[in-house]
Amino acid sequence: MASIYLPPWRIDLALRPGVQSPVPMRSLARLCARGLAAAGAPYPSSLGLILSGDNELAQLNTEHMGHEGPTDVLSFPLLAPAAFPTHTGQDPGLRGSGRVFALPPRERPHLGDIVVSVERAVVQAPEQGWSPADELRQLVVHGVLHICGWDHAAAVERDAMRALERDVLAER
């Protein structure tokens, strides 16, 4: 695992054995930082990004989501949605407490972990009409927004989430 500091965030990156990323890890870390900033994530804090394959995502999907088979991205947030700013379409009943536990001095809260299947990105890219690198970037941003309390169950929030994803991806 490598950690990249992009103040005020630390992005912890892991590339599973045998997985090859079509996007440099440092570029993905910068994308995570842009997504955290756009979503108003508390800082300083850290975020984990793991690039894996279909087998691991299928196991995690079954264990944590109750769904069979691989999926493209799973997010495991550690803070309640109330720790982040409200956004368009968000269900206020899901916000809960925004309290962040007190940590020792100079310790950062960990926002959560994102696990992405590079295999799924490669398969899904042609369906979207873009490259595997573009699909991987989109999945990473999508995962970051889920960490920050965004969802896509309701159409209005889904549309707002997609718009924010496009804005983050358009930044250079």
SS3 state at 153? coil
Q: Which domains does the chain have, with CATH numbers?
A: 2-94+107-170 (3.40.390.30)
pLDDT tens per residue across span 31-63:
999 999 999 999 999 999 999 999 999 999 999
Q: What is the pTM of this model?
A: 0.92
Q: Is the peptide bond before 44 cis (omega within 30 degrees of 0)?
A: yes
pLDDT tens per residue across span 63-88:
999 999 999 999 999 988 888 888 88
Cβ neighbours, 10 Å, residue 168: 24
Given the DSSP bridges, would you call strands 110-117 and 9-15 parallel, antiparallel or unpaired?
Answer: unpaired
Q: Tell me the chain's radius of gyration from C-alpha atoms.
A: 15
Q: Looking at the predicted structure, is the pLDDT value of residue 93 above 80? A: no
Given the DSSP bridges, would you call strands 110-117 and 73-77 parallel, antiparallel or unpaired?
Answer: antiparallel
Mean pLDDT (the chain, rounded)? 90
SS3 state at 2? strand
Q: Is the peptide bond before 132 cis (omega within 30 degrees of 0)?
A: no
pLDDT tens per residue across span 102-135:
556 667 889 999 999 999 999 999 999 999 999 9
- Written as one string, the DSSP assignment of 36-71 is HHHHT--SSEEEEEEEE-HHHHHHHIIIII---S--
Please, what's the largest Cα pairwise distance for the chain? 47
